Structure 1
Amino acid sequence: MIDDATRYQLLKLLTERPECTQRELAAAMGISLGKVNYCIKALIVKGLVKTDNFRRNPNKGVYAYLLTPEGVQEKAHVTVRFLHRKIAEYDALQAEIAALRREVDDLAASGLDAGMGAA
C-alpha cells in the first residue's frame, strides 16, 4: 500500500513531468528506484496511471506516465487529504511554538535567563 504522502508526491510529479524516468522520479522524491517501480505498478493496476511510449522518439523504450481520469480524481482527493494533514501539523507546531515562547517569557520574568548564556 502506498502512503498518502508518497502517492501525492508521485501523482504530482507525473502530472508535471509525465516523461520522467523512474530513476528521475526516485531522485526527485528521495526514495529508491525499486519503491518508485513498485508504486507506479500499483497505480497502473488501480487504473490511475497508464503508460504510453513516444512514437517519434528513436529510443522506443521511452515512456510517458499519464494520469487516467480516475488518476486525476484520485490526485485531487489525495491533495485534499495531504493538505488537511499538513494544516494539522502546522497548527500543532504553532501551538508548540506558543508554549515554548510562554516558557521563555516565564523564565525571563523570573530572572532565570540571565545566567543561561554562561553555561
Structure 2
Amino acid sequence: MIHKNDIQELEILKHVEETPHLSNRIAAQKLGCSIKLAHEVLKKMAGRGLLHIKKVHSRRWDYFLTPKGISEKARLTMEFLDFSMHFYHEARKLSSQVCRDLADSGVKKLSFLGAGDLAEIVYLGLKEWGLELEAIYDDEKKSFLGHDTQLLSDLVDNKHGAVLVCLYDPKQPTANNYLPEGVKVNDNFHWIFN
C-alpha cells in the first residue's frame, strides 16, 4: 500500500526532475497542504539525501535530485504503478460483481455518482451485464463517455433507482461506503468498495 507521504514525495521528486525552481509555496500547491508543512517535507527530503539545495540568493533556492533522490523516485514510481494496477484489478472485479448482482435482482438501468477513473472501470461491468446507464452525477466533469452529466445536487431528485457510487477517497481509495461532502446516504446507493 502506498502512503500519502510517499505520494507527496513522488510529486516533489517529479517536479524537481523537471525544474530546479521550487518554493515552499509551489510545493504547498502541489501537495495540497500548508506552506509550513511543505517546508517540513522539503527539509526532511533534503535531510534524507534525496534533494540537493543550492541557494541562488536570499529569496530563491533551487533543488536538484541527488543519486539517492533519483533512485527513490524510481522506487516510488514503481510502487505507485503496482498499487494502481492492484486498484484497477480489484475495482474491475468488484464492480463486475455489483453489476451482476444488480442485473440478477432485475435492475435494467442505473446511474453513476461520479464520472472519473473509477466510473470508467465500472462502465465495463455495466456493459458486461447488459445494464443501461441512465444518468451520471458529477460536479467537476461536464460529460462522461458521450453522456452529459448532472450536478450532485440533482441527485436529491433521483427517481431512477439504483445508483453506483463511482467515487473514492483519494487518501484511502478502497475505504468502504465513501460519499462526497454534502451527499446523503440513500437506500438506492451501491458501492464498489463495500
TM-score by length of 2: 0.51
Cα distance in 2 for residues equivalent to 1:74 and 1:117: 49
Determine the structure 1 residue equivalent to 2:42.
Answer: 40
1:1-119 to 2 correspondences below 5 Å: 3-54=5-56, 60-108=58-106, 117=160
- Asked whether the equivalents of residues 8 and 82 of structure 1 are also in contact (C-alpha less than 8 Å), the reply is no
**What is the aligned residue count?**
110
Identity %: 24
What secondary structure, in the 3-state scheme, does the structure 1 residue paired with 2:21 have? coil
What secondary structure, in the 3-state scheme, does the structure 1 residue paired with 2:105 have? helix
What secondary structure, in the 3-state scheme, does the structure 2 residue paired with 1:31 have? coil
Tell me: higher relative CO, structure 1 or 2? Use CA pairs within 8 A at least 6 residues apart: 1
Following superposition, the deviation at residue 61 of structure 1 comes to 2.2
Q: After the TM superposition, which segments of 4 or more aligned residues of structure 1 sit over 2 Å from their partners? A: 116-119
Cα distance in 2 for residues equivalent to 1:24 and 1:68: 20
Cα distance in 1 for residues equivalent to 2:108 and 2:74: 49
Cα distance in 2 for residues equivalent to 1:33 and 1:41: 12
Q: Per-residue CA shift, 1:15-46, capped at 9, x if unaligned?
A: 22320211011112212212211111111111
- Asked whether the equivalents of residues 53 and 64 of structure 1 are also in contact (C-alpha less than 8 Å), the reply is yes
Cα distance in 2 for residues equivalent to 1:32 and 1:41: 14
Question: Gaps (5+ residues) in structure 1?
Answer: none
What secondary structure, in the 3-state scheme, does the structure 2 residue paired with 1:3 have? helix
Following superposition, the deviation at residue 89 of structure 1 comes to 1.4
Q: Per-residue CA shift, 1:57-89, capped at 9, x if unaligned?
A: xx5421111111111111111111111112111
Cα distance in 2 for residues equivalent to 1:72 and 1:107: 52
TM-score by length of 1: 0.79
- Between 1:8-17 and 1:41-50, the stretch displaced more is 8-17
Following superposition, the deviation at residue 53 of structure 1 comes to 2.9
Task: Name the aligned partner's letter for residue 35 of structure 1.
Answer: L
- Asked whether the equivalents of residues 107 and 113 of structure 1 are also in contact (C-alpha less than 8 Å), the reply is no
Instruction: Report which of the two has the higher share of helix.
Output: 1
Question: Gaps (5+ residues) in structure 2?
Answer: 110-158, 162-187, 189-194
- Asked whether the equivalents of residues 10 and 77 of structure 2 are also in contact (C-alpha less than 8 Å), the reply is yes
What secondary structure, in the 3-state scheme, does the structure 2 residue paired with 1:64 have? strand
Cα distance in 2 for residues equivalent to 1:31 and 1:117: 39
Indicate the structure (1 or 2) with the bigger Cα radius of gyration: 1
